Amino acid sequence: MATPTLTPVSQTSAVVLPSGSVASEAAAAEFPFDVYTDDQFFLTGASDQVAYTYAKLGGDVLDIELTKEQVFSAYQEAVLEYSYILNVHQVKNSIGDLLGAKTGSFNQEGELIDNTDLEDVALKFPKFKFEYARRVAHGYATEAGFGGVTPIYSASFQTFEGQQDYDLQAIVSSSAATDSDVPYFGAVGDSRINVTKVYYKTPQASWRFYGYYGGLNTVGDLASYGQYSDDSTFQLVPVWQNKSQAMAFEDAIYTRNSHYSYEIRDNKLRIFPNTVIVSPKTMWIEFFIDTDTPWKEDTQTDNGVNGINNMNTMPFENTPYQSINSIGKQWIRRFALSLAKEILGNIRSKIATIPIPGASTTLNGAALLTQATTEQKELREELKKVLDELTYTKVAEGDGALTKAINEIQQKIPMTVYVG
């Protein structure tokens, strides 16, 4: 039986990173994602990263157990990470103005599908449209009854002597179902109406002289109809508004305080006090129909519920490689290097020690992993910090501070004395 040799044979790793690469090798390589792979400038950048990684990790002295393809992949991931952080920054900048705007569909790589009009929108300076504030204002305006995007309808009903209670829901639903002349015909159905105003009007101008409200002797008579302008509108005030002592009318000139007040519970109107025979025979209400859900599109607006609603629906693709300037590309090189350290650390951690004649040597896998984790965290924080200082809000604050400083300086500059 032969005596086995105990002398280890010196071996070199089967995988050693070369000192450089060319773009054609990157073009032929397999990348994890099909992003940027048809961009010649990206392929050149990825191949250049091989020489950078080789030099930074000491490849001219030590073997680096990495393949070119692993460096290419690290470079691609670094570009995608840079694009991600940049896009998140732009979301913070502009989402308030882009809510409701057109969004798109994306493939598995995050690229838009068949939406050429949205191409590279993340690189554009959007118009300030204040869509969030506008949408909130629409809701307030609708509730207040003076605007918004929800149609406001008016309807009338007849009052009867001694009757205080009127079912407005039943009155409006009936006319919506039977009267084809009303603008809300067929629009109510089982939907609830929301009443925003109750009012009545005096007769037309001719009634001042010929109706039972007026007569020739009433002209200028402040105790009767003559004290009011032609065709006045009397707005009934809710009980709670009487109690609050803070009445605000949108039309102080043409709207009068009525002697009546009212309250509405479950769309049932109660008028105070009881109406009498000479009281207005017809009263009016303004209302909107509560048929809209929060997700129903508004036909009167350009931006709608089917558009952008959060970061996920922003039509932001991966940042085009050729749109990344020298600042971004240097960050990408540094981040790709830290990713290469992470890969190498995982490889060297598979075997913690290697026996050598008379001893053993410990590989630096754990140290590389720690270093890579720290570097990646610091690089992300560095980029985010810079971007946070460059939001549109921060830029505006900086301009304001600069203007204030200039004004303070100019106040201390003596005025030139003109000598004729």
- How does the average pLDDT of the chain come out, rounded? 80
Whether residue 365 has pLDDT greater than 60: yes
**DSSP structural state of residue 49:** H
Give the rounded percent of residues in the chain with a pLDDT score beyond 90: 31
Q: What confidence tens digit (pLDDT) does each residue in 371-384 have? A: 999 999 999 999 99
Residue scoring higher pLDDT (69 or 250): 69
What pLDDT score was predicted for residue 66?
Answer: 94
Count of beta carbons in the 10 Å neighbourhood of residue 329? 16
Averaged pLDDT, 84-100: 89
pTM: 0.68
Q: What is the pLDDT of residue 306?
A: 75
pLDDT band at residue 152 under the 50/70/90 scheme:
confident
What φ, ψ does residue 247 adopt, rounded to 5°?
A: -85, 130
pLDDT band for position 37 (50/70/90)? very high
> For residues 403 and 61, what is the distance between their CA atoms, to the nearest angstrom?
56
In whole angstroms, give the CA distance from residue 383 to residue 389: 10
Does 45 have pLDDT greater than 70?
yes
Q: What is the pLDDT of residue 223?
A: 45
DSSP for residue 161: T
CA distances to 28, 134, 146, 337 from 152, rounded to whole Å, are 65, 18, 8, 63
Confidence of residue 275 (pLDDT cuts 50, 70, 90): low
> In this predicted structure, what is the pLDDT of residue 279?
62
Confidence of residue 63 (pLDDT cuts 50, 70, 90): confident
Neighbour-count burial of 23, counting CB atoms closer than 10 A to its CB (0-12 exposed, 13-18 middle, 19+ buried)? middle
pLDDT at 360: 65
Share of the chain above pLDDT 70, in %: 75
- The pLDDT confidence band at residue 250, using thresholds 50, 70 and 90, is very low
Asked if residue 52 has pLDDT above 90, the reply is yes
Task: Specify whether the CB–CB gap between 25 and 70 falls below 8 A.
Answer: no
Phi, psi of 296 (to 5 degrees): -85, 140
**How many angstroms separate the CA atoms of 98 and 154, rounded?**
34
In whole angstroms, what is the distance from residue 59 CA to residue 61 CA? 5
β-strands 165-167, 153-158: how paired?
unpaired
Return the top range by mean pLDDT from 228-232, 279-283, 336-340. 336-340
Taking 60 as the threshold, does the pLDDT of residue 218 lie above it?
no
Look up residue 24 and give its amino acid.
S
* Residue 19 vs residues 24, 54, 330: alpha-carbon distances, Å: 16, 6, 20
**158: which DSSP letter?**
E
Tell me, what's the pLDDT at 340?
97
pLDDT per position as a tens digit, 171-216? 999 998 888 888 888 888 888 888 888 888 765 544 444 444 444 4
Q: What is residue 416's predicted lDDT score, i.e. its pLDDT? A: 73
